[in-house]
């Protein structure tokens, strides 16, 4: 298995969003957090030999990290054509041993026939006006196709995540609080860099 330190070094080289879209809440996943998610999934046996799907894959940092951990297949689903172009460029740069398949589409209606996937995602938090509970649709889609999901959410989401899991037959096995560093991306950002608190959940679904 690739070490967490090596994953961090590899993922630190990926290109990020060129023109991030606020309507899609395109905040990049930092390489340290991506490496942590991938390493945890690998240690729990959720990557090797499995089909791994990255919902809202953006420039591909989570999908590419998983591609170094001996999965059977890796799929990235992303609505933004430009983000997929960057993901393919990052794939060429990293040359992972398993080549991801990049699908342009809506991750909330994944075009996949499986109930045994491992889903990894940094979904929209629903923090912008008009997009409340955007992460609910991503969780619902994960519940339909996944055996297990690794999902990041805004701090303070614990009650919502636990209630959603209880209502849909999910079991939360891991909860990790992490700090996500964000650089200035949108006009309303007043600082060059800031940090937000994020919660990472591992959820096992009844499909498994």
Q: What is the mean pLDDT of the chain?
A: 89
Mean pLDDT of 176-186: 73
Q: Give the domain range for residue 115.
A: 4-204
This prediction's pTM: 0.89
Using CB atoms within 10 Å of the CB of residue 156, give its burial: 0 to 12 exposed, 13 to 18 middle, 19+ buried: exposed
Which CATH number belongs to the domain containing residue 41 in this structure?
3.40.50.150
Read off the pLDDT of residues 144-165 as tens digits, 9 standing for 90 and up. Answer: 999 999 999 988 899 999 999 9
Q: What is the pLDDT of residue 196?
A: 74
Ranking 54-58, 64-68, 152-156, 173-177 by mean pLDDT, the lowest is 152-156
Of the candidates 164, 151, 162, which has an alpha carbon nearest to the alpha carbon of residue 125? Answer: 151
Distance CA 7, CA 69 (A): 10
The two three-digit tokens of residue 2, written as one number: 């690739």
- pLDDT bracket for residue 72 (50, 70, 90): very high
pLDDT of 189 > 50? The answer is no
pLDDT (mean) for 124-146: 79
Q: What's the length of the chain?
A: 208
CA 44 vs CA 35, 40, 134, 204: distances in Å: 14, 6, 28, 12
* Percent share of the chain, pLDDT over 90: 71
Residue 74: how many CA atoms within 13 Å on its side-chain side?
28
Residues of the chain by 3-state class (helix, strand, coil), percent to 5: 30, 25, 40
In the DSSP assignment, the letter for residue 23 is: G
**If you average pLDDT over residues 1-27, what whole number do you get?**
81
Residue 74 has pLDDT above 80, yes or no: yes
The span from the CA of 192 to the CA of 85, in Å, is: 26
Scanning 12-80, the segments in alpha helix (DSSP H) are 31-43, 61-66
Lowest mean pLDDT among 37-41, 48-52, 68-72, 183-187: 183-187
Structure tokens at 186: 């949108």
Our count of domains for the chain comes to 1
Q: Which of 38, 133, 24 lies closest to 83 in space, CA to CA?
A: 24
Helix, strand, or coil (residue 52): strand
pLDDT band of residue 183 (cuts 50, 70, 90) is low
Q: Residue 12 gets which letter from DSSP? A: T
């Amino acid at each position: 298995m690739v070490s967490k330190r090596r994953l961090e070094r590899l993922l630190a080289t990926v290109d990020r969003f060129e023109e991030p879209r606020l309507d899609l809440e395109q905040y990049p996943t930092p390489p340290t957090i991506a490496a942590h998610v991938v390493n945890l999934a690998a240690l729990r046996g959720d990557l090797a030999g499995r089909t791994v799907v990255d919902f809202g894959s953006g420039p591909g940092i989570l999908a590419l990290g998983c591609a170094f951990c001996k999965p059977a297949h890796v799929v990235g689903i992303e609505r933004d054509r430009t983000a997929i172009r960057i993901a393919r460029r990052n794939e060429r740069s990293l040359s992972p041993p398993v080549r991801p398949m990049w699908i342009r589409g809506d991750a909330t209606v994944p075009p996949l026939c499986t109930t045994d996937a491992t889903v990894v995602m940094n979904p929209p938090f629903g923090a912008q006006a008009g997009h409340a509970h955007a992460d609910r649709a991503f969780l619902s889609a994960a519940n339909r196709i996944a055996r297990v999901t690794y999902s990041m959410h805004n701090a303070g989401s614990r009650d919502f995540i636990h209630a959603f899991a209880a209502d849909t037959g999910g079991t939360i096995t891991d909860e990790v609080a992490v700090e996500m560093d964000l650089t200035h991306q949108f006009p309303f950002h007043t600082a060059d860099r800031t940090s937000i608190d994020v919660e990472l959940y591992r959820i096992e679904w009844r499909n498994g």
